[in-house]
Amino acid sequence: MRLHLIRHGQSSNNALPEYQRVHDPHLTDVGQLQAERLGAWAETTELDVLLVSPFRRTLQTAAPIRRVTRLAPRIWTDLHERGGCYSGWQPSNFRGCPGFTDAEIREFFPDAIVEDPIDHRGWWRSRDRESDDQAIERAARVIDRLKRTFLGTSVRIACVMHADFKKLVTAQLFDRDHEPHLPSPYRNASISTIDFAPDGRAMLVVENDVAHLDPSLRT
């Protein structure tokens, strides 16, 4: 099993101070170009599975990969960014937001395989902001699900997700400190590739790779 953890392209939130950010931003023009470069990368990389977070920016990032591979995106809600879908920039004004519904996800990808129940209330259902402890537990849950689903196979997986949650996943895989309050080291549209032995041991092949991006697109 080979796993490519891919951060989404630059979103409008990445280019704004925290107090101006919105709950589900779109990709910037630079982010769209980064996504296209990911599509070119996917065209020369053998992939079998495309897993995608349900946020707008990850769906947009996955689109060029979907186009060249013709893989039906499999939507895993647990791949969402830390905190969930919420507005606000400090505890006093955090407010849960719905997130996309099943129908809204299918506007991006009519062939999407929505593997977790999502109804008219959206995938986040306007719940309170996720705590750090809950995010760490979710990272463990994602790792367990990946192993239960794919371990022991030769499947090659592209997983389009988010920087802070990617940091939590790799921290657990490689026994690193979580450092929840430090900025993520992962660049937009970067790729971290991990091989899994049949016994579940993770081996890092490359981390935070941006060789597929022109220098002007490395944000």
| pLDDT at residue 19, rounded to an integer | 47
Rounded (5°) CA angle 35-213-169: 70
Burial of 126 (0-12, 13-18, 19+ CB in 10 A): middle
| pLDDT at residue 63, rounded to an integer | 98
User: Whole domain around residue 155: which residue ranges?
Assistant: 2-217
- 2 with 157: CB under 8 angstroms? yes
Residues in contact with 206: Cβ distance below 8 Å, sequence separation at least 6, in sequence order: 191, 192, 193
Q: Which stretches in the chain have pLDDT values below 50?
A: 19
Q: Is 10 helix (H, G, I), strand (E, B) or coil?
A: coil
Assign residue 194 the CATH number of its domain.
3.40.50.1240
The helix (H) or strand (E) run that includes residue 7 is strand 2-7
Tokens 């022109």, residue located: 214
| pLDDT at residue 14, rounded to an integer | 67
| pLDDT at residue 217, rounded to an integer | 96
Residues in contact with 199: Cβ distance below 8 Å, sequence separation at least 6, in sequence order: none
| pLDDT at residue 32, rounded to an integer | 97
| pLDDT at residue 47, rounded to an integer | 98
Structure tokens of 47?
């992939």
**Helix ranges restricted to H, the chain:** 29-43, 56-69, 102-108, 132-150, 163-173
Q: How many domains does one find in the chain?
A: 1
